[in-house]
Amino acid sequence: KAGVTQTPRYLIKTRGQQVTLSCSPISGHRSVSWYQQTPGQGLQFLFEYFSETQRNKGNFPGRFSGRQFSNSRSEMNVSTLELGDSALYLCASSKQETQYFGPGTRLLVL
Amino acid sequence: QKEVEQDPGPLSVPEGAIVSLNCTYSNSAFQYFMWYRQYSRKGPELLMYTYSSGNKEDGRFTAQVDKSSKYISLFIRDSQPSDSATYLCAMSRSGGSNYKLTFGKGTLLTVNP
């Protein structure tokens, strides 16, 4: 069974731009979660989608948003990028309580 | 106080050693406990998953959860150089919030040949 895939794998943006990241979950998984990983803060929960609805949300500003499509694929968007948004963005898919992570998208904001 | 505390290490051991990794937590609502392994430049890989208190063994890995002490552990027996990675503990509540994982900062482990 194919794992979680994320595109693109690497991105370089400048401050003020916006970015959209994509995640394809494991076949049959309907829950998709997003996390931000930085050296200082570690892994932090952004939000979780299930059947196209946001079910859980972390403590991030409204510049961070997401959505899920009917085929369970998900996108997250970050608007008005700041230098501090440089991070590894990880997507995880779940069928029950366990989450399986993709390889991540490494975003660098200059 | 952070919800989950994990000693960041780094931890360096010789090949064949027994490794003990630990996390403490403050939120008694946590019911699900996981250990992930993350190699450099990769996403976290699920190693062990435990519900509530008790022990779970999988090959060279043993996970322990002591909810009364709010303490979880991962033991690695006969450690190998391929075990060199960052180990992350994670936990979640039950019900609709069980998909929101709270992670420790991770412990960097190096196993020397």
Mean pLDDT value of segment A29-58: 93
Mean pLDDT value of segment B14-32: 95
Which of B43, B99, B102 faces A90 most closely, judged by CB atoms?
B43
Residues of B in contact with A56 (CB under 8 A): 96-97, 99-100
Summary mean pLDDT of chain B: 92
- Give the pLDDT score at B98: 62
Q: Is the peptide bond before A61 cis (omega within 30 degrees of 0)?
A: no
For residue A48, which amino acid is it?
E
CA dihedral B46, B48, B51, B53 (to 10 degrees): -150
What are the beta bridge partners of residue A64? A78
- Give the pLDDT score at A103: 96
Q: Is the peptide bond before A39 cis (omega within 30 degrees of 0)?
A: no
Interface residue of B38, B40, B101, B108 to substitute, partner A, most A CBs within 10 Å: B101
Scanning A33-72, the segments in alpha helix (DSSP H) are none
pLDDT tens figures, A51-74 = 999 988 999 999 999 999 999 999
Q: How far apart are CA B34 and CA B46, in angstroms?
A: 7
pLDDT tens figures, B62-104 = 999 999 999 999 999 999 999 999 999 999 887 655 678 999 9
pLDDT tens figures, A1-14 = 689 999 999 999 99
Interface residue of B100, B102, B103, B108 to substitute, partner A, most A CBs within 10 Å: B100
